[in-house]
Amino acid sequence: MGFTKYLYIMKTKIVLLFALTIITCFFHTQLKAQNKPPKFSGTFAYSTDTILDAIDFRTMKENIWWGELIPYIVSLKNKNHFSCIMDKLKEPQLLQINFMKSGKHILVPGEYYVEMDDDIKIGFFKVSERDSLVFSGKGSEKYNLINAVKQQQNKFKDLTSKLNNPKSNKDLQVYLNEYTKLALRFMYEQSSLINKYDGVNKSMKKLIGYEFDIYQTYWANILLYFYLYDKNYANETSRKIVKDALNNGILSFNTPDSISVLAPVQYMGLLFRMKVKMVINNEPTNLASFYKRLKENYTGLVRERLMVEFLTSTSNMSFITSYKPDVYDSIIVDASNSVVHPYYKELIEKKGRTRKGSKVLNAEFTDLLGKPFKIESMKGKVVLIDAWSVGCTGCALFHKLFESRIHPFFKNNPDFKVLSINADKSHERWIEGLNSGKFSANEYLNVGVGELGINHPFFKYYTNAMPLLLIVDKEGRLITKLSGVEKIEEIVDVINIALNEKNIK
């Protein structure tokens, strides 16, 4: 390595580490005594008929949805009084509040930001036709601000749903104009609302603005719908109207500042809007070109956050064409070498564990009879590993596709097996999902993970996102991780090639 290149690399690392320090300090300039872990307490009086027994105050490490989940589960005892101290919190994090019954999440009232020193009293009760959460106590202003922002967003959804559905190209033009006006109006009103809350510090206001910046993404989704999915507008004139609206509209791709890395919705939305712009403008959306765009158009911690979102999220390959495992593997290597942030680097390197030729983790599971089962026992077979959980829409969609379009080619081949791994903690829930026929089939090798759930070593090693789809060769080496964008014939070809390889002696 040349000295100049070495200096450049070291300078980059120093700048990024400095940015990480700035983020931490940014939240302490106005609240110098932030040293107590946040506390939540209150009385549960939710109006649902379902009797609930616990609340899960859940956060995510570094505010990344696809990373480590940190649950704080408290029981509803003593006449539904509860109290929770989040002793692991070190920085502002998104907080997801989940109501639970018998270990299952029943209701998710909302997401908020939690900070050190918060001492929040929560009231659950019903106002008019909606059940509500009301916050009071130290730090409660930001929770009530987020509630107010959500109310504005619900109003936006109500108003846009009442717009007259277009029936002609002229109507389409009017509809898009009206939708754009509403989006711009609510973007302005949200900004004004956030700015007027004096009890919330400036850094938190900025963070809330990033996380709840949904109007551009909603607008892009509407454009995509008329351009790609509504067959009534699958003509040149209609698509020109949509394209002009896109290129003359409200989409912004400006680089957010470093504080935004704590706002996952900002990055999910930014990636989605980038893809929509590329699709509608007929720009290349193959894996390599999209990754190159991320690297060239953004810098520093923001670029790293975009990389980790793109390479680890469950929807990362939507609208990406020409997906090839070898290209994906090379991108993982490049990203691992480029990223400085320790946790981002860890998550990206974890994706490298599904590189072609890697030995599949020889984890132990439990079969339907309660007997231990190890993956190595399937040596000599080509295996599709399908990990799923009850309620996972993507899992159900893949199973339906696999059963109708792929499995018929191989179901009578003794050298091909499907290993179906259920990720639910409850044995009853596993059996319920199996018997429904939506996620698995009795003819597969069905195994479970028991009470560990997604904390099972297999999921900790690979991913906690479902479905997890791996094709393994006869020697127990990974051939590919399916991304969900492969064509049927591509999957069939991969399995056929593996089956035709020389058997192990």
H or E element in which residue 326 lies: helix 325-338
pLDDT tens profile 83-108: 999 988 877 899 998 888 877 777 77
CA distances from 221 to 165, 189, 274, 490 (A): 15, 21, 11, 29
pLDDT of residue 485: 67
Q: Distance between CA 358 and CA 476 in Å, rounded?
A: 8
Q: Distance between CA 467 and CA 109 in Å, rounded?
A: 25
The mean pLDDT of 377-406, rounded to a whole number, is 94
Q: How many CB atoms lie within 10 A of CB 240?
A: 11
pLDDT tens profile 220-231: 999 999 999 898
What is the pTM (predicted TM-score) of this model?
A: 0.79
pLDDT of residue 483: 75
Strands in 93-101's sheet, in edge-to-edge order, are: 69-75, 54-60, 93-101, 104-114
Decide if pLDDT at 23 tops 80: no
Residue 204 contacts residue 27 (beta carbons within 8 Å): yes
pLDDT of residue 65: 85
Q: Which residues of 272-310 are buried (b: 16+ CB within 10 A; e: fewer)?
A: bbbbbbbbbeeeebebeebbebbeeebebbbbbbbbbbb
Among 399, 446, 398, 397, which Cα is nearest to 423's? 446
Decide if pLDDT at 217 tops 90: yes
Backbone angles phi, psi at 213, to 5 degrees: -85, 85
Average pLDDT, the chain: 86
State whether residue 237 is helix, strand or coil: helix
In the block, residue with structure tokens 């130290």: 138
Decide if pLDDT at 32 tops 60: no
State whether residue 421 is helix, strand or coil: strand
Instruction: Tell me the pLDDT band of 64, cut-offs 50, 70 and 90.
Output: very high
- Would you call the peptide bond into 256 cis, given omega within 30 degrees of 0 as the criterion? no
Q: Distance between CA 230 and CA 236 in Å, rounded?
A: 13
Instruction: Tell me the pLDDT band of 133, cut-offs 50, 70 and 90.
Output: confident
pLDDT of residue 177: 95
Q: Which range among 42-46, 60-64, 127-131, 161-165 shows the weakest confidence by mean pLDDT? A: 127-131
Strands in 119-127's sheet, in edge-to-edge order, are: 81-85, 39-43, 119-127, 130-138
Q: Distance between CA 386 and CA 495 in Å, rounded?
A: 14
pLDDT tens profile 440-496: 999 999 999 998 988 899 988 887 678 889 999 999 999 988 877 678 888 999 999
Q: Which range among 71-75, 181-185, 345-349, 411-415 shows the weakest confidence by mean pLDDT? A: 71-75
Instruction: Tell me the pLDDT band of 434, cut-offs 50, 70 and 90.
Output: very high
HSE-up of residue 283 (Cα within 13 Å, Cβ side): 13
Q: Distance between CA 405 and CA 43 in Å, rounded?
A: 52
pLDDT tens profile 301-311: 999 999 999 99
Q: Distance between CA 36 and CA 118 in Å, rounded?
A: 8
